[in-house]
Amino acid sequence: MASKNSIDQTVCTDKNCPIHGSLSTRGSVKKGLVRSKKLASMAVVEIPILSKVKKYERSAKRRSRIHVHVPSCLNVKEGDDVEISECKKISKTKSFVVTKVL
């Protein structure tokens, strides 16, 4: 029996899948937490950023929320840790794709 986060090769017919389709990934690779998964092929991933503020000699926590494409072969739900990679622009706001569920 396959695990729930495994890749199902028989179901994936997505042309924007980096594993089974023709989408190539390049550039930055980031890890983050899935915050919203309301559409079937899109999710919002939150990436925490810890930066130093020289003036106050403290560190500031910030976050970056990125819209990503989710291939049909990956089972992603809210609260999952995922690895995302940069790719060509898929839509107006999506230029990252989920490559792995951690």
- Which CATH number is 29's domain given? 2.40.50.1000
Residues in a beta bridge with 84 = 30, 98
pLDDT in tens, 19-52: 888 889 999 999 999 999 999 899 999 999 999 9
Average pLDDT, the chain: 88
Using pLDDT thresholds of 50, 70 and 90, give the confidence band for residue 18. confident
- pLDDT reported for residue 8: 52
If one counts the domains in the chain, the total is 1
CA–CA separation, 62 and 31 (whole Å): 15
CA–CA separation, 1 and 69 (whole Å): 27
Does residue 3 lie in a domain region? no
In this structure, are strands 96-101 and 42-53 parallel, antiparallel, or unpaired? Answer: unpaired
For 95, the domain range is 25-101
